[in-house]
Structure 1
Amino acid sequence: MKTRPYIVSHMVASIDGRIDCSMVEKISGDEYYTTLERLDCPSLLEGRVTLEHYSAEKEPFVATVNKPVDKPSVNIAVKSDAYMVAVDTRGRLRWPSSEIDGTPLLCIVSELVPEEYLDMLREQEISWICIGKDSIDLPRAMEILRNEFDVKRLAVLGGGHINGRFLEAGLIDEVSLLLAPGIDGRAGQTALFDGIRDMSHPPVPLKLASVEPLANGTVWVRYTLKKIDQDDKTGKGMTQ
């Protein structure tokens, strides 16, 4: 029995690995979306920063009484073959609709969210997974996503910090990377995978699956992840 979805990180970056939205929009075309369709991942997941930029209301949610939920819960507002999954640890995003581009919204939050936030989601008929005391318990959230929402394949669409959290938790099965024909070069810009604070975290080895040049000069590279023996921080204990 599968305990979580097959998870693909799908990103577009400059050749120096930067992913600032306004920058990559200037050096890429619609290949991000055409290749995403080919990944056969009906359900998509984005982090709070990306969703603030593209999909959520501009003004954040502010609770009248900031009383945390402080317990796990799951709400299945609608059963669907596909979901747009929003990772929003403290429940800051407000939504203009229960759908994004016609796909039902599903919010993953921590138990730090105010009770009022879940009340708002319930009123809008938005599904949620509330799990994790101090931050979202991503491994458990992915198990719930698979076993209660029947999500078999999931594309994680970044940004860099949510990618880093999935990587650190050992939840990524495949990396789908579009290298767009351009260089960022600005100091301090977020990388493809970012934010892991454990400086002893070993590099994650990859196995090349395919390389495909696209018409506009973008290169589509796909990797699968090799597994590392977590007791071997040097990386010498990796297996295929």
Structure 2
Amino acid sequence: MPRPEIICHMVTSLDGRLLPDRWPVCQESLSSLYDSVADRFGADGWIVGRKTMEHYLATGPCSTVPEAQPRADVVADAAGRDIGICFDRQGRLRPETGEVDGDHLVLVLSERVSKEHADDLAARGVSVFFAGPDGDDIAGVLPRIAEAFGARRLLLEGGGQLNGAFLAADLIDETSTLILPVIDGKSDVPAIYDNHDDARALHLDLISVKDLDDGTVWLRHSVKRA
């Protein structure tokens, strides 16, 4: 099964930081700009980490058990909607339905998440996929998601740790970076790619550069592979 094309689409300060709430910009205008650029890719859905998804969904304690329990994926009816994918390895998210921001919710769990929690998610209309004992088998789960929903292109939209994990696994094909005319300046603010393990630097090929509203620059790069 082929995996979908992955484009990492992010908005950042000039120094590569990721917390726009800190910046002296209109958040509504920034969100509109970000979404308008994202729409140009015609993607079939988007991918975020748990901390990013907490802006949309309630959370609770971990739902893990001591032993991994290999299980089959549960695919719900997406009803023709785009998919919103979240890697929630420990089963902390508590969605009420299988919809998030108008899209179909897909949660990727570790095989240590309890059967009871996974069954509850499925009963609420959420699609549930399993990514190995620790929930980090990104390369293994992406083709299954793509096949289940006919997804050919997905936007990876953070946070920094999830982006870093995709980068380390060589699963990013293109980067789309909106650079605002802002310097964050704070050293402990997350960056676009935060990988705590050893990671090799990658060379990129420039696709395009465009000037957008208010001095924002849109850079597109393809990942150069050997």
Which amino acid is the alignment partner of residue 17 of structure 1? G
Is the CA contact (8 Å cut-off) linking 1:72 and 1:131 kept in structure 2? Answer: no
State the distance in 2 between where 1:159 and 1:40 align.
Answer: 21
Report what 2:218 is aligned to.
Answer: 220
State the distance in 1 between where 2:162 and 2:72 align.
Answer: 22
CA deviations on 1:15-59 (whole Å, 9 max, x unpaired) are 00000242258366221111000111121111101111x2111x4
Is the CA contact (8 Å cut-off) linking 2:204 and 2:223 kept in structure 1? Answer: yes
Is the CA contact (8 Å cut-off) linking 1:84 and 1:106 kept in structure 2? Answer: yes
TM-score after normalising by structure 2: 0.91
Query: SS of 1:166's equivalent?
Result: helix
2:43 matches 1:38: no
Question: Shift of residue 134 of structure 1?
Answer: 2.3
Question: Shift of residue 94 of structure 1?
Answer: 0.7
Question: Shift of residue 115 of structure 1?
Answer: 1.4
Q: Cα RMSD (Å) of the superposition?
A: 1.9
Pick aligned residue for 1:204 from 202, 205, 214? 202
Report what 1:9 is aligned to.
Answer: 8
Alignment of 1:16-95 (within 5 A): 16-24=15-23, 26=25, 29=30, 30-52=32-54, 54-57=55-58, 59-61=59-61, 63=63, 66=65, 70-79=69-78, 80-95=80-95
TM-score after normalising by structure 1: 0.86
Instruction: Give the 3 Å change call, closer, same or farther, for CA 21–116 of structure 1 in structure 2.
Output: farther
Alignment of 1:106-121 (within 5 A): 106-121=106-121
Structure 1 alignment gaps of length 5 or more: 228-237
Report what 2:163 is aligned to.
Answer: 163
Is the CA contact (8 Å cut-off) linking 1:105 and 1:126 kept in structure 2? Answer: yes
Query: SS of 1:222's equivalent?
Result: strand
Query: SS of 2:48's equivalent?
Result: strand
State the distance in 1 between where 2:69 and 2:82 align.
Answer: 28
State the distance in 2 between where 1:210 and 1:42 align.
Answer: 22
Structure 2 alignment gaps of length 5 or more: none
Instruction: Give the 3 Å change call, closer, same or farther, for CA 147–41 of structure 1 in structure 2.
Output: same
